[in-house]
Chain A
């Protein structure tokens, strides 16, 4: 199993929307400035909400599962066609010093700008994991079902990271006792993360093992990510 994945083709609709919203917002700001009518705070807020709502709508129209970060509720959601199909609480490690609200807000601010309401997962990296099915049992099941063992095996992640454009990182830890996927790659990735850490948010969270398994598998490169719509 490769721990690093290649970029799959993106949902072009999502991609188009991300840029279109960005360009649209920028273009509109420019138009307002040219007209000599700077937008007031309320109008700016409404435009941002509108852009975010359009982003949610376009993602809901697409086929791809997308990630939603609920800062106020400290939760991560996965949605399919607009419906919530998975939720996981964002729990910080006990040794983390900052307040939960501040940490999430900083993370969201780094992930999204005023003009960009969708961010895309750039890569994911699995540090360590454990097998759920012993090899001996797997061989029996594989023999009985005709499916290859590598298709049947399920790996519970002990630690992985998801990185978005701009270098924002979600560092997920679980209570699973795993083995390193590749010690050398882990060291290189860790060095890279340490060097990058001062320049962008790096959120370390503790997650239920099954939730982490789902999140890791779904968040392949290209997965669209949005923040929750306000009420």
Chain B
């Protein structure tokens, strides 16, 4: 009889423990020690209702200005999609390829590269017809070829397609010889598009068009 009670008590104890474990939140995202040390004075809303209404109007105006008035490009690296859109509607959508995230280390010099498409907000900084690729060092190291001293040996006229749209620090939206790989993130950081889609986009965008990469 005593054993029966002990078993029941044990089962109840285990059940209570399990419930407690399941209901205990995992590590909190916010760090209260940091947060409680902060001063909120600068973020307090104005005490006076009139001033509050005025501040709110200014704030909402500033927020509206953040949203681009002109159509903009969005590169969704997660789904390999490039869209040309406004805040309310998508004007154009294409399958693209972005950076693979792979790493390359030069065993001789120890230099490292990570082939990511940079995230954030950019603007179109160049529009180039019939672009030539000026191969960086990693293009040779990746192929186990010596890095040439002559700059002419770095130029390749055949790999970027008919157009290139520049953004950020040397990145481009350009064409590809391997359209079958569109939809898979295989690039070294640039964004590849199919020939028809690239022609459409090149015609629409202008210098300064905003590009958002996420």
Contact = CB atoms under 8 A, between A and B. Distances in A.
Interface string B96-121: 00001110100000000001000111
Contacts of B41: 24
B27 A229 contact: no
B45 A50 contact: yes
A28 B26 contact: no
26 contacts: A15-B30, A15-B34, A16-B35, A19-B36, A23-B35, A23-B38, A27-B44, A31-B47, A43-B49, A46-B53, A46-B56, A80-B212, A81-B120, A82-B63, A82-B66, A83-B68, A83-B87, A122-B25, A147-B102, A147-B115, A152-B184, A154-B184, A165-B28, A191-B22, A213-B78, A213-B79
Which of the four size classes fits the interface of chain B?
A: 35 or more
A113 B212 CA distance: 31
Nearest to B55: A50
Interface string A114-154: 00000011110000000001000000010001111001101
A49 interface: yes
Nearest to A86: B76
Interface of B: 19, 22-23, 25-31, 34-36, 38-45, 47, 49, 52-53, 55-56, 59-60, 62-63, 66-68, 72, 74, 76, 78-81, 87, 100-102, 104, 115, 119-121, 142, 181, 184-186, 210, 212-214
Contacts of B119: 63, 65, 80
Contacts of B25: 122, 165, 167
Among A80, A195, A229, residue most surrounded by chain B Cβ atoms (within 10 Å) = A80
Given A24-B44, A195-B19, A214-B78, A7 B102 contact: no
Nearest to B34: A15
A55 B207 CA distance: 31
A69 interface: no
Contact of B59 (A53, A78, A191): A53
A123 B81 CA distance: 26
A60 to B, nearest CB: 5
Nearest to B77: A217
A29 B60 CA distance: 23
A43 B52 contact: yes
A80 B120 contact: yes
Given A20-B43, A60-B66, A54 B26 contact: no
Contacts of A33: none
A88 to B, nearest CB: 11
Given A20-B43, A31-B47, A85 B76 contact: yes
Contacts, number: 170
Interface of A: 7, 10, 15-25, 27-28, 31-32, 40, 42-43, 46-47, 49-51, 53-54, 56-57, 60, 63, 65, 78, 80-86, 120-123, 133, 141, 145-148, 151-152, 154, 165, 167, 191-192, 195-196, 199, 210, 213-214, 217-218, 221-222, 229
B149 to A, nearest CB: 25
Contacts of A16: 35, 38
B45 A24 contact: yes
B30 A17 contact: no
B62 to A, nearest CB: 7
A123 B26 contact: yes
A210 B52 contact: no
A168 to B, nearest CB: 11
Contacts of B67: 82-84
Contacts of A199: 23
Q: Which 3 A-B pairs have the closest CB atoms?
A: A82-B66, A19-B35, A24-B40
B22 A210 contact: no
A167 B22 CA distance: 11
Nearest to B53: A46
Given A19-B35, A19-B38, A47-B52, A141 B66 contact: no
Contacts of B28: 122, 165
